[in-house]
Amino acid sequence: MSVVALGILVVGCNQPNPEAARVQAKYDEKTGKLSQLTVDAKKDGKPDIYSYMDGTKFIRIEIDKDEDGKIDRWEYYTPAQKLEKVGVSRSNDGKPDAWAYSTAEGVLSRIEVATHHDGKVNRFEYYEKGSLARVEEDTDDDGKIDKWETWENNAIASVSFDLKHTGKPDTTIDYRKK
């Protein structure tokens, strides 16, 4: 939902309009600034969008896309109101375990994944022109990258491993035709 659409809904909160009940606003008691908007976008009586605000600026938006009572998507905004990253719950447990980052032009540039669903990122996927280009992963959870994948034309080209724990690849499997 856009800032304009939310703004229109908030203005409607003070009007005798049945649609207005779909939006609830909370204000900071000390500053009087808008601090949260909850929206029932699906009109089923349950909020499914929670916008955390600093006055008119978004800080974070949380969305329950499938109406199961658990947040599925987190959108984080910079102070300049640019979308910084999007978190998702791959395991549908209401906790983010993957975060997507885009370029200033809105093209996917990186995805970070907590493969064990513990909030600790151990897989980094890098994209070029919207396609997966390379992956770095800590497969043994020691905090150090030990697996590197190279991708070409949407297919895995090679995988390298650090089997000796030196911080550098020592074994490579090349999948490209030679």
Question: Quick check: is 92 in a domain?
Answer: no
Q: Is residue 102 assigned to a domain?
A: yes
Helix residue ranges per DSSP H, the chain: 3-11
In a domain, residue 135? The reply is: yes
Is 168's pLDDT higher than 50?
A: yes
Q: Which residue has the higher pLDDT, 136 or 177?
A: 136
- 103 & 174 share domain: yes
Domain shared by 51 and 104, yes or no? no
Give the span between the Cα atoms of 139 and 165, in whole angstroms. Answer: 12
The residue segments making up the domain with residue 164 are: 97-178
Q: Are residues 51 and 121 in the same domain?
A: no
Question: Are 165 and 129 members of one domain?
Answer: yes
Same domain (yes/no): 101, 173: yes
* pLDDT tens digits along 3-27: 434 443 444 444 445 555 699 999 9
pLDDT in tens, 17-69: 555 569 999 999 999 999 999 999 888 888 999 999 999 999 999 999 988 99
Query: Are the C-beta atoms of residues 67 and 48 closer than 8 Å to each other?
Result: yes
Sequence-distant (6+) residues with CB within 8 A of 149 are: 134, 135, 136, 137, 156, 158, 159, 160
- Considering its fold, how many domains does the chain have in total? 2
Same structural domain, 63 and 111: no
Structure pTM? 0.77
Residue 1 lies in a domain: yes
> Within a domain: residue 84?
no
How far apart are alpha carbons 75 and 173 in whole angstroms? Answer: 37
Q: Do 35 and 1 belong together in one domain? A: yes
